[in-house]
Structure 1
Amino acid sequence: MKDKYTEEFLRRLSANINLKKQEQVFESMLGPATWQIQPVKGESKDKPVERFSNESGHGFSMPLKQGNQLYGAIIALGFKYPVTDELMRLFAVFTETLMREVQKEMELTKLYDTIRPRAIALSTIHTVHRLISSTLDLDELMPRIARLCLQVMRAEVCDIFLIEPGKKKKFVFQTSVNVNKDSQKHKVKVKLNGILAYIAKTGASRLTPKRLLVPLIDEDVIGIIGIRNKMGDKPFNEFDKEILTTFAEQAVIAIRNAQLYEEQEKLTIGSIKALAAILDTRPNSIQTHSAMFVKLVVEVAKELNVTAQELRVLKYASLLHDAGKVMIPDEILKKQKRLTGEEFRIIKKHPIKGVQIVKPIEVLKPVIPIILYHHERFDGTGYPKGLKGSQIPLGSRIMSVVDAFVAMVSKQPYRECLNCDESLFEIKKYSGTQFDPEIVDIFCRVIAKSNIKSLLKAK
């Protein structure tokens, strides 16, 4: 079974389009190469990353490992140029991200195979499934399931309990919706006792004239959905239990997908932070990839009422907007004197190089325009395209202001840092030319908040 899993894992990894794109990026910098993925043979032991050079060119070998599981190794042969430490670290981060994506893909496949809707399900339940599966936000999903349950079951109250991860003795009282009082509660801790404990332990349903409780089952019981007080003062019956059981099966699929999405989101953020940590070893990176920078960008975006998805993308971009500087020589980044024309021309390439770095990762595609254009100026005199005004993505306009402010309040190789008031004066001075005036106004309001000032003091 383990060998079959490893074989399928390596097959999916080899066919992953992001891996192919990643290989293309490396070949664009180091020259063409031959790539191989070799499975574990016999009792093969884990080997460290190896780099080598011979008459055929340069190359490396990197183990494919998740936790304690060694799947094999990825080997590249024949590069024209040697592989640097920084490129190896980047490749390791990308490869780990891809392996996690493949692992989650296989988990989803298994989930789909083991938790299928009933062969014969009520047509109304199928409609409900489509409606509740239209969001992957768990906090939004729970009340949606509860409201739809009340409509289908014609009941007055719906309660949904989810078992707290890693704690078998407690529930999170995720949602309670009352159709008459229009009341709703979220994430209230409820002790696991009485009938709830019995259902969680046995997976059995509970039917009384006034209350119906059905387990939410994904191999094990992950929660309970319950309804109270049937409309028209009628008692609940076996047919109601059958419908709610089918409804619960559909709800479980949506809940597990949302939970897996949250897990994947955590993995993605972890990988992005790992990549940003590599950049933190470079000059001038700490101030631009600090918690202060991300916090300021997020606070300004919230003032603009961006969507949850737009805010998520902006967080990613905040961590990686200067990723291309890893490709800029240290002597330019460290230089304490004015840059020459040629040196500035090299510096201006870093947004494009940053795009080349993040492009192979599918989940980071939405950040590409933000990274590419965050050095554009509102009056059209920026780079790399000379975009003007609203042609510049909103995220880029936000980061342009924040980037300048953070750079000013941070010590640079060529000057001492400015204080907050001095930096704000400079930001306002270039409102309408370098910066979007609306963003500048919002940014000044954000800085005036006490929590942001505390963040600046703690920098």
Structure 2
Amino acid sequence: MAGEKILVVDDEEMIRDLCYHILSTEGYQVTTAPNGKAAFEELNRNMTDLLITDIKMPGMDGLELFEQVKGLNRDIVTIFITGHGTLDTAIESLMSGVDGFVLKPFTQEELLSTVERSMNRSRLQKENIRLKALIPLFEISKLLVTEIDLAHLFKIITEVLVQEFSVERVSLMLLDEKSDNLVIRASHGLPMETALKTRRKTGEGISGLVLKNRKPLIISRGRHADQEVMEALNLDNMPISSMSVPLIGRDKMFGVLNVSKFADPPFTTSDLQVLLILSSQVVTAMENASLYENLRENYFRTVQALVAAVEAKDPYTRWHSTNVAKYSVAIGRDMGMSPTQLEEIHISSILHDVGKIGISERIISKPDRLSREEFDIMKDHPAHGIRILEPIGFAPAIIDAIYQHHERYDGTGYPRGLAGEQITLAARVLNVSDTMDAMLSERPYRGMISSEEVVAELEREAGKQFDPKVSEAARRLIEKGLLKLGKHTFHQYSSGSGKEEKHVTP
């Protein structure tokens, strides 16, 4: 298959011209160079598929050129042209990775058959390498395109790159829409301070150039044919080889994916092809995650509106979920929950009573105590809530907290009668917060309960209804004045005012 780019290097003009004529006639793109130095400069400027070089030349000979070229591009196919006097050297070169040699004087058929044989062997090797890389990549791709949690997705990407490419450094840089800068969102092998502070504008540095030009780059040993790339290189702590590829979506630029290694061998064009395939899967996964997040956010807002509608039916529980969320986050923060856990418990608190949508309005808004039969019906609302929320695909921690928020620490709660640490921590926190706001909710069959009475109840029920540690955290926050108890109340439109009024009742 002709069409490949060939560089012919020989200090004899006649040999160069002969090779040029034979090979260009067969459809190859041929360039010539009179010596090793000129050839190396040409290879720095332009990609070449096949190098044909004489061994004995003034200055940089063919052997030295071969060693230099392998450091620049390991994918290049090399054929030596040799005379009888250098035949032993040529044979030794085959053991070092040279793909073939042509003995002077040679015929047209000998040159063409050597070139074709060497190129076919190279294509086969590259294809085998590519197929071997694509087998695990296929499994990885299935995992990526089904992942909807962006933080976990970024973690998977970095782990895959470290494992598959044996790299020491990875950075996933995403375009921040507010600042229009590339910001590192996931990394491996970078100092924490660097990962947090690094910013690149479009066209700035290697990542900025890749973003600007929308073209991938391979840089090996601090060299590249493009002068603009060389000017953008940061020579401090320069890796042996690095690849940078743009992450381009259907209608937007997401960012740039960078990988670097500090040991031989350098990256090849085959490596770049695999990285490009992986990056396309990353973009697909990010687009899927973004679409899913938008759908989930819309669904969440709808469910939240339904919760508000349910609470609005009962004048005694308006703003209940808002209060519960406030208490839960405060308690969770005091207990050392991570930001992710705090976000999960906030969502759980907002939606914990969504299952009441399936409960009769007569029971929901009943001002008196519920009968045993009515209470049995009310006890179904955690299960109703899970059925409503399942299509959204919330994290298991959120689903568990909502389903378990009426379980008691002593095992006498519902719906499953779980006890102690069988109940998730988020559900134990939610139980305390839910109960506190219920106690503060004024009912016709009892008056308003004071903050002191709430604290006393928390202490009394520690180890029974409540996790003692959660109960203690809530009491501590209340007693220190760090958790303001109270509920929002809502006044109907007063005649002529046309405004809603909210106040907090202590």
TM-score (norm 2): 0.53
Please tell me whether residue 175 in structure 1 is matched to residue 186 in structure 2: yes
- Equivalent residues in 2 for 1:275-354 (5 A)? 275-283=306-314, 284-290=316-322, 292-298=323-329, 300=331, 303=335, 312=344, 315-316=347-348, 318-321=350-353, 323-324=355-356, 327-329=359-361, 333=365, 335=367, 339=369, 343=371, 345-352=373-380
1:100 aligned partner: none
1:148 aligned partner: 160
**Aligned AA for 1:160?**
L
User: Post-superposition shift, 1:293?
Assistant: 0.4
Measure the CA separation in 1 of the matches of 2:181 and 2:378. 50
- Equivalent residues in 2 for 1:79-228 (5 A)? 122-129=134-141, 136-165=148-177, 169-178=180-189, 185-186=195-196, 189-194=199-204, 196-209=207-220, 210=222, 211-220=242-251, 221-228=253-260
User: Post-superposition shift, 1:423?
Assistant: 0.8
Q: 1:191 to 1:454 in 2, by over 3 A?
A: farther
**Aligned AA for 2:149?**
D
Which of 435, 458, 462 aligns to 1:427? It is 458
TM-score (norm 1): 0.57
Measure the CA separation in 2 of the matches of 1:331 and 1:261. 36
User: Post-superposition shift, 1:451?
Assistant: 5.2
CA RMSD of aligned residues (A): 4.4
**Aligned AA for 2:294?**
E
Please tell me whether residue 389 in structure 1 is matched to residue 419 in structure 2: yes
**Of the two, which has the highest radius of gyration?**
2
Unaligned runs of 5+ in 1: 1-117
Contact persistence 1:355–1:368 (CA under 8 A): no
2:65 aligned partner: none
User: Post-superposition shift, 1:145?
Assistant: 1.9
2:16 aligned partner: none
Measure the CA separation in 2 of the matches of 1:162 and 1:322. 36
Identity of aligned residues (%): 24
Contact persistence 1:397–1:435 (CA under 8 A): yes
Please tell me whether residue 271 in structure 1 is matched to residue 282 in structure 2: no
**Aligned AA for 2:321?**
H
1:7 aligned partner: none
Measure the CA separation in 1 of the matches of 2:259 and 2:402. 49
- Equivalent residues in 2 for 1:43-82 (5 A)? none
1:363 aligned partner: 391
Superposed CA deviations along residues 13-53 of structure 1, whole A, max 9, x for unmatched, are xxxxxxxxxxxxxxxxxxxxxxxxxxxxxxxxxxxxxxxxx
1:241 aligned partner: 272
Kindly indicate whether structure 1 or structure 2 has the higher relative contact order, using CA contacts under 8 Å at least 6 residues apart: 1
Q: 1:204 to 1:289 in 2, by over 3 A?
A: same
State the SS of the aligned residue for 2:171. Answer: strand
User: Post-superposition shift, 1:286?
Assistant: 1.9
Unaligned runs of 5+ in 2: 1-129, 223-241, 489-502
User: Post-superposition shift, 1:273?
Assistant: 1.1
Measure the CA separation in 2 of the matches of 1:134 and 1:306. 25
2:435 aligned partner: 404
User: Post-superposition shift, 1:196?
Assistant: 4.3
Measure the CA separation in 2 of the matches of 1:373 and 1:149. 39
Measure the CA separation in 2 of the matches of 1:330 and 1:369. 28
- Number of residues paired by the alignment? 333
Q: Which range is displaced more, 444-453 or 300-309?
A: 300-309
**Aligned AA for 1:350?**
M
Contact persistence 1:321–1:370 (CA under 8 A): no
State the SS of the aligned residue for 1:126. Answer: helix
User: Post-superposition shift, 1:214?
Assistant: 0.8
User: Post-superposition shift, 1:413?
Assistant: 4.1
Contact persistence 1:293–1:318 (CA under 8 A): yes
Measure the CA separation in 2 of the matches of 1:369 and 1:234. 49
Please tell me whether residue 437 in structure 1 is matched to residue 448 in structure 2: no
Measure the CA separation in 1 of the matches of 2:325 and 2:274. 47
Measure the CA separation in 2 of the matches of 1:448 and 1:313. 23
Measure the CA separation in 1 of the matches of 2:330 and 2:391. 23
Measure the CA separation in 2 of the matches of 1:168 and 1:391. 45
